Structure 1
């Protein structure tokens, strides 16, 4: 006769089976996952100082006294070797001040912390060189006569390129008629730039708008391709201006400052 569980023994059997399943689920819930959790990072006024040193130093040409601020923005993410578990991912998924990203997208250069740091420093240096060349080309100034030094501690990557470029232009010529590119405002933004003045996308813009608003910005310059992301968690009172090239960015800022002409919006 086949063996049958009695009605009294069945709950005990279920309980015995449930115990290892619960343990397995608990283990899975706290197992490391291939994600990073990012949040709004620091911002820095490229027209001012960072940790006691001027961000932009120019020699070989007269510079202007500027007003207002041009703030580059950052995000901070859990490290490549950080333990990110399912509860961390779920928490980040439902918070507007957090973003869950594939770890490979945040750290494409690998898992070695030293290699990542070296990669970020190299891309920052390349970004600074491109920013200087783009600014001097835009102003039709000879790079052999003017030396620009850019210094920003503890920040890596290329996403400050656009703001560096605008800062150099503001310090050398402003809006071209004696005014500031900022119009006295706190303007923040993000975007890569190449030597020809083309602005590129960077990622993390929804978090960067929050960092900008937190630090007093009322205007945010965003690569046009990332308008939708920037709008998704846009803080109240922060105006988005989409940008594609250095020339159009300067034109938008001048139009905003003078109150003439059209200023694009996302």
Structure 2
């Protein structure tokens, strides 16, 4: 029977200390994998055509002026998020970090005070303000009186301010189209995001890489976005989706004209 002794290098105090540290590190990583972190996973959400219907109800109902029949689509886009009560561990967060269809965000930026009811209240109010601003900007662009033309927006339980640009474009298209009897879209499926104020200024919204994924999934070939978010939008841009940065409603209308006619169109 052989009597093989371990190498002294393997039984030295230093080797034993390193082995113990390795065990402790492995144990810490094992625990970390199951400890919930203060993060929420976000995903590409639903999209809705502002020229059409959402949940079987028209998104835009306009009274006080003739309304056109339209072709093409103007899609607003959303982001979905895991429930605040759903625990997100280290490994799940790392998986999302490397997945183009997921993102990790601090929970308190998605759910204020960790309260989904509070988040819904905030985003609902933001949507109301966005609808009002989009209506004011669109009517001002068309030189129509808000006292005469009334716009009702119905996007169900979708909240937040980021539909502003696409709502304003939908109103312009339904009332005036391209001003020459055609559509703003030229029959294309155009998606986009961006806040808007009553002067028609388009602002950043965040989450653009996930929104471009949602847009491409639902058939868009063009994506209108705030100028300041070009760098974010170019992260994992879906193949076949053209990014068009704009800063005002007038620039959005002009960009769509360029797309229809083969004219100059801004690019990221």
How does 1:1-266 map onto structure 2 within 5 Å?
Answer: 22-107=26-111, 109-259=112-262, 261-266=263-268
- RMSD, matched Cα: 2.2
1:220/1:9 CA distance change after superposition, 3 Å: closer
Report the alpha carbon displacement of residue 143 of structure 1 after superposing the two structures with TM. Answer: 0.5
Residues 21 and 264 of structure 1: CA distance in aligned 2, closer, same or farther (over 3 Å):
closer
Query: Structure 1 residues 18, 265: CA separation in 2 closer, same or farther (over 3 Å shift)?
Result: closer
Distance in 1, matches of 2:124 and 2:159, equals 5
2: CA distance between counterparts of 1:196 and 1:72? 20
Give me the whole-angstrom Cα distance separating, in 2, the residues matched to 1:64 and 1:124: 25
* Residue deviations 1:191-212 (CA, integer Å, cap 9, x gap): 0000010000011111111111
Distance 1:81 1:265, change over 3 A: same
C-alpha distance in 2 between matches for 1:135 and 1:10: 74
Aligned residue pairs: how many? Answer: 259
Judge conservation of contact 2:107–2:114 (CA < 8 Å) in 1.
no
Report the counterpart of residue 3 of structure 1 in structure 2.
Answer: none
What whole-Å deviation, never above 9, does each CA across 1:58-106 have from its counterpart, x for those lacking one? 0111000000000001111123332111011110011111111222333
Find the aligned partners of 1:165 and 1:178 in 2 and give their Cα distance. Answer: 19
Unaligned runs of 5+ in 1: 1-6
SS in 2 for 1:73: strand
Task: Name segments (4+ residues, structure 1) moved above 3 Å.
Answer: 7-25
Secondary structure of the structure 2 residue equivalent to 1:88: helix
Q: Deviations over 1:141-185 (max 9, x none)?
A: 111111100000121100000000000000000111111000000
Shift of 1:37: 1.3
Q: Residue 63 of structure 2 contacts residue 151 of structure 2 at CA under 8 Å; is this kept in 1?
A: yes
Shift in Å at residue 132 of structure 1? 0.6
CA distance in 1, matches of 2:41, 2:113: 17
Q: Tell me the distance in 1 between the aligned counterparts of 2:104 and 2:20.
A: 36
Give, in whole Å, the separation in 1 of the partners of 2:15 and 2:250: 74
Unaligned 5+ runs, structure 2: 1-10
CA drift at 1:257? 1.2
Q: Does the Cα contact within 8 Å between 2:110 and 2:119 map onto a contact in 1?
A: no
Shift of 1:256: 1.3
